[in-house]
Chain A
Amino acid sequence: MPEAEAIAARKLSKVYRGGHGAFELEFTVHEGEIFGFLGPNGAGKTTTIRTLMGLLRPTGGSATVFGLDCWRESTAVKDKVGFVSADPRLYEKMTGAAFLDFMAGYRARGTMDRARAMAAEMDLDLRPTIRQLSRGNRQKLLLVQGFMHDPPLLILDEASGGLDPLGQEMFLRRLLGERSRGKTVFLSSHNLAEVEGVADRVGIIRDGRMVAIEEIDKLRSIRTRRMDVTLAAPVDDGFLDRLEGVRVVETTDGGKQIQLAVQGSPRELLARLGTLPVVDLVFPPADLESVFMQYYRDEGEPRS
């Protein structure tokens, strides 16, 4: 039996006058999954989300949420969605409580009680005006309004922006909790590590076009991470280069500084490095660009 679709985009396009936007997007998000929507800033993520939310009218194709057309039936769609915008601009003169009360006015009875409980859980004071809130607390307020009515689908656009590391961790834990309760999450981000941590599948968008849709394990296996190794004495490049998934990018300082590109598990590489006079080692999280580069190689040349 096919999985039920929470979101389905069929050749969905939103093209602005300048020619940029989102072009013929084809993807589905299954009920009960966390779907990561990855792309650098300006790739078309927010445009896509605004189209799903019925804020922008598609210039081509269509999108549905639980079978409802995102433009023609947008009111019904919004009833089923918790939306967190990437734009932290809110009604500055309202207090947090007044803002949530306004938003809760459109939801079922009891929503405000849930909102207050969530705010307390997130250590968010609802008494100050929004103007007085820090970027992080504004984001928490946005998260509370997105989650407070317990919607079956969450559409989150760069929703962890502005949160401190603790807040980000709490946010990701909450997403996993929502999924375990059968909720669907559409998580847009430019942060690969964040999406990798929670998503089941990932759609990658660049220049308004969907580059790929992959299971998260596949993504982990193809993305490349950089490793900078500093050695006490030079060694032969080939000693590392011969390992599967490892490529020497650059050697400097007479062979003492080596930059590697590592794909897949680093276990064998680390074992090999253990036999070398390693002074320092830097292994940062994979960035989005490394994933894109993989797709570029697959396609022969980058998209324009």
Chain B
Amino acid sequence: MTVMLRKALWDIRWTTFWFAAGGAGYVLLIAVFYPTVRQQSEQFANLIATYPKGFLTALGYTNITTFSGFLGGEALNLFWPIIIGVFATLGGAAMVAREVEDGTSEIWLSVPATRWRLLLGKFAALAIGLAICVAACVGTVGVSAAAENVTVSASGLAAMSAVMLVFLFIIAAYSALLSSLVSTRAMAAGISFGITLGFYALWLIGGLVDQMRQLKHFSIFSAYTPQKALETGSVDVVALAIVVGITIACAVAALLVFDRRDAI
């Protein structure tokens, strides 16, 4: 597996770098504005209070006057996961489909290694790439907080890392499953984006319509609570465990499908 892991890491090195830098850069850009927001917190709070509930829910705004609330609403709750979610989707969708599309699957699968080992090597590389993106983001949050004299706990940063990783891993896992199934990157990525959008819609509708609040529980966004994790240092263990379970199921299904299908 290490041979495949090394190659897969090499393949995604620049993608990882740009997504990690882009995501962290965006978080830094937002964090730089926080001192201004803090100075005029009352005016901002009043302004936010005039926004429609749907708008605030959609963007994940709660309390904009705190460091975690401001970063959460402006970056961590929606925009950062969209940016890095694209990486997870494209990385997962490329796992098998890219080899088939590029015509390299024949040479790839001619090596004496089981298919599941080869795919697991790619999974591991993408997981490392996503972890680097998360580390860059969390590091930026920690450094920004220190620079702006805001206290964030290590447990908060760790809990935030956990929810971010789990969220990205499940996207990568169902994208990889689709990649094993359909053989074209565009189709796998397209369906995967559709599924993620569907999850977001469930989470949004569940948050806006009281009678439909149960819908939130069917969305992976329910387990994605980076702001809360940063503030409290804790995670919703049950929600995370369910997402981890689905991630593992998707990954195993991807391996099984890939193991049984024609390679070309």
Which A residues lie at the B interface, using CB under 8 A? Answer: 50, 53-57, 75-76, 78-79, 81, 83, 85, 87, 89-93, 102-103, 105-107, 142, 145
In angstroms, Cα B111 to Cα A107, docked, is 8
Top 4 A-B pairs, shortest CB-CB distance: A89-B103, A105-B3, A79-B112, A78-B112
User: A107 to chain B: which residues have CB within 8 Å?
Assistant: 112
User: Is B153 located at the chain interface by the 8 A CB criterion?
Assistant: no
Contact A57-B112, Cβ < 8 Å, known A87-B103, A106-B3: no
Contact A76-B109, Cβ < 8 Å, known A55-B263, A89-B104: no
Which B residues lie at the A interface, using CB under 8 A? Answer: 3, 6-7, 11, 102-107, 109-114, 260-264
In angstroms, Cα B102 to Cα A197, docked, is 34
Contact across chains for B260 and A53 when beta carbons are under 8 A apart? no
When C-beta atoms are compared, the residue in chain B nearest to A103 turns out to be B111
User: A50 to chain B: which residues have CB within 8 Å?
Assistant: 106, 263-264
Q: A75-B113, A102-B7, A107-B112 are in contact. List 18 more A-B contacts (CB 8 A).
A: A50-B263, A50-B264, A53-B109, A55-B110, A56-B263, A76-B112, A78-B110, A79-B112, A83-B110, A85-B110, A87-B106, A87-B107, A90-B104, A91-B107, A92-B102, A93-B11, A105-B3, A106-B111
When C-beta atoms are compared, the residue in chain B nearest to A106 turns out to be B111
When C-beta atoms are compared, the residue in chain B nearest to A54 turns out to be B109
Contact across chains for A85 and B112 when beta carbons are under 8 A apart? no
Contact A75-B263, Cβ < 8 Å, known A55-B109, A102-B3, A102-B7: no
State the Cβ distance, B9 to closest chain A Cβ, in Å: 12
Contact across chains for A56 and B262 when beta carbons are under 8 A apart? yes
Contact A106-B113, Cβ < 8 Å, known A55-B263, A56-B264: yes
When C-beta atoms are compared, the residue in chain A nearest to B106 turns out to be A85
When C-beta atoms are compared, the residue in chain B nearest to A83 turns out to be B110
Contact across chains for B104 and A75 when beta carbons are under 8 A apart? no
When C-beta atoms are compared, the residue in chain B nearest to A146 turns out to be B110
In angstroms, Cα B5 to Cα A102, docked, is 11
In angstroms, Cα B262 to Cα A87, docked, is 16
User: A79 to chain B: which residues have CB within 8 Å?
Assistant: 112
User: B6 to chain A: which residues have CB within 8 Å?
Assistant: 105
Q: List 14 A-B contacts (CB under 8 A).
A: A50-B263, A53-B106, A53-B110, A55-B109, A55-B110, A56-B264, A75-B114, A83-B110, A89-B104, A90-B107, A91-B107, A92-B102, A103-B107, A106-B111
